[in-house]
Structure 1
Amino acid sequence: MKETSWVKDILQPSIQKIVSAMGDESLQVLTRKKLPYAGCVTRYEKNNKPSELEMQSYETDILITETFSNLSWCPRVLIETKLETITTHDAISFGQKACTHKNIHPYLRYGVLLGAFEGPVPGHLVVHGGHFDFMMVWQKSSPNTQETEQIINIIRSEIEASRQTEDLIRTRRTKDKKHVYSLQRRLEIKN
């Protein structure tokens, strides 16, 4: 099976089912959506607002978005995917994409899912995965019961982490800002 077919025909419907079961109709699972990672301002107005902005975008494998009542949307969780194998070059490329996407969207949660992969999360993915919020391996192209439970928990917690982070960012310069005295990114390892 080709990786693009796996993402479109198996992975996206599986993740959409998980997201739909959460009961939040504002969430959507997209494939091949382009998401900006950098912008170039070529002109400014007199008040220093950019008047010309050119955005560069990467195509995403799986992108979970949240749509608001005014039909604006924001990216919540991005999942890079590989089927059967992942090279060190893939890991470095994914890590760089995660870094650049998070420069534009600091609340975005970013992960890697390896499907039909024999073995645990590879060491080179961990070494080059400093910008990933999660990494996961499915033994086959579709998740077993345990893998389904894990991906459900990961997606739920990553969406919530994205929302909380965005809220901190959006309110940081308002009188209603939240005063945070401790923030920790957890590391959870499942065998």
Structure 2
Amino acid sequence: MTKEQVLDIFLRSDALLEGHFRLTSGRHSNRYVQCAQVLQYPAYTGQLAAFLAERVREAVGTPDLVVGPAMGGILVAYEVGRELGVRSIFTERENGAMTLRRSFAVKPGEKVVVCEDVVTTGGSVKEVMEVVRKAGGEVLAVASLIDRSNGVVDFGVPFQSALSMEVISWEPEECPLCKEGIPAIKPGSRT
């Protein structure tokens, strides 16, 4: 897939929003990528997952396991795992900490790819990586549908994305939209 084809999927799905948004990281932005709008279409999700799986295979080979953070990473991890022919699980927050639940486990020595829908600061992905490492797994790579950092985030392993884009964001006290009195909305899954 080309960047233009990926962008076309996001545009056709109404997944690229403009306004005043409070991101999961706490930062504010005038643009928001709502991957759930894309993920509601199995055909689009399958195309994007196949593209990411191929990029992962080229970068690090085939892992043993794919792990994604709830909520946004669940479908992405599942579909990428399906494309790679490997098991897929997800982490959840419990008392504010990322953890494995539902009897999910990472076996010692398993080679793992962490998948997410959107990466901005990489905070959730880094938490998942820590869960995997504490369980004895080895993180081979990270993959996401959208890299909002435009390649700036460094996970210490190869990072593959379907689309990398620069989306400007600000700390709340520096946000020009706040200074204009425009209310910020929180469209994501985490409050």
Same fold (TM over 0.5): no
TM-score, scaled relative to structure 1: 0.34
Higher-Rg member (1/2): 1
Highest RCO, 1 vs 2 (Cα 8 Å, sep ≥ 6): 2
